[in-house]
Structure 1
Amino acid sequence: MKIQGKMFIWLAAFILIMAVVYGWWSKEPAGTTALFLAFGLSIMIGYYLAFTAKRVDTGAQDNKEADVADDAGELGFFSPHSWQPLSLAVGGALAFLGVVFGWWLLYFSLPVLAFGLWGWVFEYYRGENQNQ
């Protein structure tokens, strides 16, 4: 993760320089704003990857003498039967359709989005307040 973090931080620095040059040269607010937002997204991802790389073990991608097979194995836990992404997709589609057809459609999409997000966050909750 160290390499990916450094790549995103350098990308963020490049985008910041280009945003300043573009804003100074073109005086166009939409593109300048988009570049500054891209800088913000890149720096967030780079900081997260760099911060996480300090807390986890060194992976095969950080070792220059590693083979491809060294990174084989389990990558993590992925829910095999979750319906929550479907409800989030339906709610997101309704929300974007609300922009097209009318903002009144958000009244129907926001509860669907809230239900899907709530279900996804607490799908595997195993805390002290859970009923068993």
Structure 2
Amino acid sequence: MRIQGKMFMWLSVFILAMAIVYGLWSKEPAGTTALFLAFGLAIMIGFYLGFTAKRVDVGAQDNKEADVADDAGELGFFSPHSWQPLSLGIGGAFAFLAVAVGWWLLFFSLPLIMIGLWGWVFEYYRGENRTQ
């Protein structure tokens, strides 16, 4: 994680330099603002990764003597099947279509989005962990 933090910090320095050069050369405010915002995002990610690297154990990616297999293992739990992304996708499509066609489509998209979010959050919240 420490290496990634340094990479983002160097990336932020490069983006800042390019933002300054672009701003002075083109005098175009939209692109200059976008580059300065990209600089801010890169520095936030770099700071977070560097800050977190000091508080967690050294990972295999920080060890120069490590093999690829040293970082292998379980990455997390991923749902094998879920219908909730379909509901979110259809609701999101209707919401974006509402911008082009008419705002009345939001009345159809918001319930689909809410049902999808509710279902996805509480998909595995059943059984003994459920509160009364």
TM-score surpassing 0.5? yes
Name the CA distance, whole Å, in 2 between partners of 1:79 and 1:53: 29
User: Where do 1:48-87 residues align within 5 Å?
Assistant: 48-87=48-87
Q: RMSD of the TM alignment (CA)?
A: 2.6
| Closer, same or farther: CA 5–106 of 1 in aligned 2, 3 Å | farther
Cross-structure match for 1:31: 31
Do the aligned partners of residues 73 and 87 (structure 1) sit closer, same or farther apart at CA in structure 2, a change above 3 Å counting?
Answer: same
Q: In structure 2, how many angstroms separate the alpha carbons of the residues matched to 1:20 and 1:104?
A: 44
Deviations, residues 12-46 of structure 1 (Å, cap 9, x unaligned): 12112211221121111221122122222222322
- Partner residue in 1 for 2:8: 8
Q: 1:10 to 1:89 in 2, by over 3 A?
A: farther
* AA in 1 matched with 2:78: F
Q: Quick check: 39-48 or 22-31, which moved more?
A: 39-48
- What TM-score comes out, normalization by structure 2 length? 0.75
Give the total of aligned pairs. 130
TM-score by length of 1: 0.75
CA 1:70 to 1:96, structure 2 compared with 1: closer, same or farther past 3 Å?
Answer: same
In 1, distance between residues paired with 2:33 and 2:50?
A: 26
1:92-131 to 2 correspondence within 5 Å?
Answer: 92-124=92-124, 130-131=130-131
Stretches of 4+ moved more than 4 A in 1? 121-126
Mean Cα deviation higher: 71-80 or 23-32: 71-80
Q: Which amino acid aligns with 2:56?
A: V
Moved more, 35-44 or 12-21: 35-44
Query: Structure 1: which 5+ runs fail to align?
Result: none
Aligned partners of 2:51 and 2:84: how far apart in 1?
A: 29
What is the distance in 1 between the residues matched to 2:37 and 2:71?
A: 33
User: Which is greater in Rg?
Assistant: 2
